[in-house]
Chains A and B, each alone.
Chain A
Amino acid sequence: MMTTADPRVVAYLQRLEEAASGLRAERRAELVAEIRDHISSRLADLGPPAAGEDPVERTLARLGEPEEIVAAAADDAGTEVAPERGFHPSPRTGPGGMEAAALVLLLLGGFVAGIGWIAGVVLLWMSARFTVAEKLLATLVWPFGLAAPVFFGGLIAVSGGPGCPTTVPSAGQSVGQCSAAAANPLGIALLVASILAPIVVAAVLWVRASRRAAKG
């Protein structure tokens, strides 16, 4: 637009852009676009300059320093969740990404050479959204998560002797030749329970953290 091509306007918007580098990209773009629109609207309103008047300078002076505008934007971000603004809910309604990552790694991280599970434990204990009891429970059921029962289930199946499937037999499958633990209904039940246990623990922790987040 013609009116915003003035070098002082260009320099002003440049300063604004730089000052806003700490804001999220979309907020920065929006802010710069709004200020640019404002300048062109104001200059259009003021019309051609009369003698001794400088509409550009006046417009920019009334806008304030770019850093001041950005400070107001950053301020807002900081006060968004301030408790005294009681009339709207906090935008944060669920547990955060760290809690989600911790629970997923606890369940599945064991498959990544065990390291993933250890990372999950670290995240779990770093999180402020779980109680100590919950952290203990999630660490002990089970070390290495789902990898543990799957691994031991596989071992049992293999040790069942030749002809036994190396995977866990499903309910409808004939397991007649297998005489070891894998074929034993009690063994299967234990195996299924040991697979379900960490899933249930993770689900319970997620729900409890969510409820806590919704209240606070």
Chain B
Amino acid sequence: MVPEPRTALPQLRRGVLEFCVLALLGDEERYAYDIVEELGAMDGLVTSEGTIYPLLSRLRRDELVATRWRESEQGPPRRYYRLTATGTRSLATFAEDWARFRDSVDQLVNPRGTP
């Protein structure tokens, strides 16, 4: 039997997704459904939208995001998420790390600059 070709995508998602959530928050306050909706619409980032909820609650426990409940016109109150100071710093560090990491990988994988 021929072994399956490998894909790094699941591990990449796992490592990067929480920072995508932080980036999505930026300096805006958003509620969970909105975050999940936007991430889910991006190609290749999320396979199961439901898994973002545990991710959000972990970010909350780790104090990278803070939340508060706000009334909504339609339906029950919603929990809104925003970045904390630690979240903002983590995002800034990631942005630098990611740029370096991406450039290095590109140099090896796409030496001519185009995929």
| Stretch of A38-46, A130-138, A155-163, A207-215 that contacts chain B | A38-46
Cβ–Cβ < 8 Å partners of A65 in chain B: 48
Q: A37-B33, A40-B75, A88-B62 are in contact. Are A63 and B55 (CB under 8 A)?
A: no
Q: B58 at the A/B interface (Cβ < 8 Å)?
A: yes
Q: In the complex, which of the residues A27, A30, A72, A88 has the most CB atoms of chain B within 10 Å of its own CB atom?
A: A72
Chain A nearest CB, measured from B30 CB (Å): 13
Which A residues are in CB contact (< 8 Å) with B37?
42, 45
Chain A residues with Cβ under 8 A from B57's Cβ?
Answer: 27, 30-31, 73, 76
Q: Which of B53, B55, B61 contacts A38 (CB 8 A)?
A: B53
In this complex, how many residues of chain A approach chain B with their Cβ under 8 Å: the count is 29
- Main DSSP-derived SS at the A contact region: helix
Contact between A64 and B58, CB atoms less than 8 A apart: no
Q: A1-B75, A62-B40, A87-B93 are in contact. Are A34 and B61 (CB under 8 A)?
A: no
Residues of chain B with a CB closer than 8 A to A30's CB? 57
Q: How far is the CB of B11 from chain A (nearest CB, A)?
A: 13
Docked CA distance A88–B64 (Å): 9
CB closest chain-B residue, reference A60: B50
Task: Check if B90 is an interface residue, CB within 8 A of chain A.
Answer: yes
- In whole angstroms, what is the CA distance A65 to B51 when docked? 9
CB of A181 within 8 Å of the partner chain: no
Q: Is A35 an interface residue (CB 8 A)?
A: yes
CB-CB contacts of B30-52 with A at 8 A, as 1s and 0s? 00110011001000000111110
Give Cα A46–Cα B60 distance, bound, in whole angstroms: 29
Contact residue among A37, A72, A80, A87 (Cβ-Cβ distance under 8 Å from B51): A72
Q: A40-B75, A42-B33, A76-B58 are in contact. Are A31 and B48 (CB under 8 A)?
A: no
CB–CB A34/B32 < 8 A:
yes
Contact with B along A54-91 (1 / 0, CB 8 A): 00000000111110110011011000100001011001
The number of residues on chain B lying at the interface, defined by a beta carbon within 8 Å of a beta carbon of chain A, is: 27
Query: CB-defined interface of A104-138 with B at 8 Å, one 1/0 digit per residue?
Result: 00000000000000000000000000000000000
Q: Are B49 and A62 in contact (CB under 8 A)?
A: yes
Residue among B40, B53, B58 having the largest count of chain A Cβ atoms under 10 Å = B53
A87's partner among B40, B53, B58, B89 (CB-CB below 8 A) is: B89
- Tell me, in angstroms, the Cα distance from A68 to B33 when the chains sit together: 18
Q: Which residues of A contact B110 (CB under 8 A)?
A: none
In the complex, which of the residues B54, B86, B93 contacts A76, with contact meaning CB atoms closer than 8 Å?
B54
Residue of A nearest to B58 (CB): A76
The answer on a CB contact under 8 Å between B54 and A91 is no
Q: A37-B76, A44-B74 are in contact. Are A68 and B36 (CB under 8 A)?
A: no
Q: A41-B33, A69-B54 are in contact. List 10 more A-B contacts (CB 8 A).
A: A31-B53, A38-B33, A44-B74, A45-B37, A72-B51, A75-B54, A76-B54, A85-B62, A88-B86, A91-B61
